Amino acid sequence: MIFHPDDEELTSDILAVIVKAVLLAHSAASKAAGKLPQLSAERRLDPMTSTVQAARCFGWAAQTLGMSPPLLYAAPEIEVLAQLIPTVPPLCGLGKLALSGRTPQELAFVAGQQLAYYRPERFIRLVVPDVVDLQDLFLAALAIGNPKLPLNADVRSRVEPIARAVEPLLASREVDACARPISASSSTAASPTSSAGAWPPISPPCARASASRASSWWPRRC
C-alpha cells in the first residue's frame, strides 16, 4: 500500500543487505575527515517524552508505520527540516525548519516522509544519493554473492574495488543473501554486461513517491 507500484523490489532488497556495511564505511571515512558533528547529550530528543513537537511526530509516525524511530537530535544550526548524521547507529538531526514555524500536520508529513527513508530497503538512499553510485553498489553486492557475474570491463573496474571493500564488513548470511537474486536479475531485459545506466533499475522518482505515500498515509489515521 505504501510502496510505489513501479518500485523495483529486487533492487531494494539487495541494497538493504549491504546498507549497514556501507554506512559503517561511510561513517568511518566521515570521522577520519573530521566531518562528523560533535553532538552533546543535551540535544538528544526522545520522541516519547520530548516536548518538541517535531520529535513527538516522529514517534507517532514510527508507531503507525510499524518501525522504530532513529535517534533524534536537535540541530537548529542547519537550515533543513531533517538530515542524516551518518554515525553508527545513524542519527537524524532535526533542523531549524522542523523545530519552529511548522504546524502539527506539516510535521506529520515530514516525519512520515523521512521515516520512509529509514526503512532498510530505502536507507541507502540517504547515505548514497547518487544513482550511478547506487547502481555500482548494487552490482558490487551481486558480485560478492556471485563472483562469476558477467560484467563488462568498464563496469568491473568500478565495481570490484567496491566489492572488496564491502565484503569484509558483511556477515556470512548477508553474503549468502547477495547470491540469492542472481537468477531473478538475470531474467530482466537488461544485463550487467550492458552499458552503465541501463541496469540495474534504480528509480529516484519511485523512491520519492514511496516516501510521499508513507508521509500522506499515516496522518490520516491519527
Which CATH number covers residue 92?
3.30.2010
Any domain includes 212: no
Q: Which three cell numbers stand for residue 40?
A: 552533546
**CA 152 to the chain's CA centroid:** 28
Any domain includes 2: no
Q: How confident is the model at residue 3 (pLDDT cuts 50, 70, 90)?
A: low
Any domain includes 111: yes
Give 197 or 47, the one with higher predicted confidence: 47
Among 6-20, 84-98, 199-213, the minimum mean pLDDT is found in: 199-213
Last residue of a domain, one of 84, 99, 122: 122
Structure confidence by residue, pLDDT tens digits, 76-134: 999 999 999 999 999 999 999 999 999 999 999 999 989 989 988 889 999 999 988 99
The per-residue pLDDT for 198 is 46
Mean confidence (pLDDT) of the chain: 83
Compute the 3-state secondary structure of the chain and give helix, strand, coil in percent, each to the nearest 5. Answer: 55, 5, 35
Q: How confident is the model at residue 212 (pLDDT cuts 50, 70, 90)?
A: low
| Residue 75 confidence (pLDDT) above 50 | yes
Q: What are residue 93's phi and psi, to 5 degrees?
A: -90, 125
Q: How confident is the model at residue 142 (pLDDT cuts 50, 70, 90)?
A: very high
Any domain includes 24: yes
DSSP state of 101: S
Counted domains in the chain? 2
| Residue 9 confidence (pLDDT) above 70 | yes
| Residue 214 confidence (pLDDT) above 70 | no
The per-residue pLDDT for 210 is 52
Residue 5 CA to residue 3 CA, distance in Å, equals: 6
Q: Which three cell numbers stand for residue 186?
A: 538475470
Tell me which residue of 200, 208, 203, 207 sits closest to 136, measured CA to CA. Answer: 200
Residue 7 CA to residue 206 CA, distance in Å, equals: 6
> Rg (Cα) of the chain, in Å, rounded?
19
Q: Which three cell numbers stand for residue 95?
A: 533542523
Exposed, middle or buried, 39 (CB in 10 Å: 0-12/13-18/19+)?
middle
| Residue 48 confidence (pLDDT) above 50 | yes
The per-residue pLDDT for 8 is 72
Mean pLDDT of 193-211: 50
Q: In terms of residue numbers, what domain contains 139?
A: 8-34+130-207
Residue 37 CA to residue 30 CA, distance in Å, equals: 10
C-alpha distances (whole Å) from 156 to each of 137, 151, 163, 166, 212 are 12, 6, 10, 15, 35
**30 and 43 belong to one structural domain:** no
**108 and 65 belong to one structural domain:** yes
Exposed, middle or buried, 38 (CB in 10 Å: 0-12/13-18/19+)?
exposed
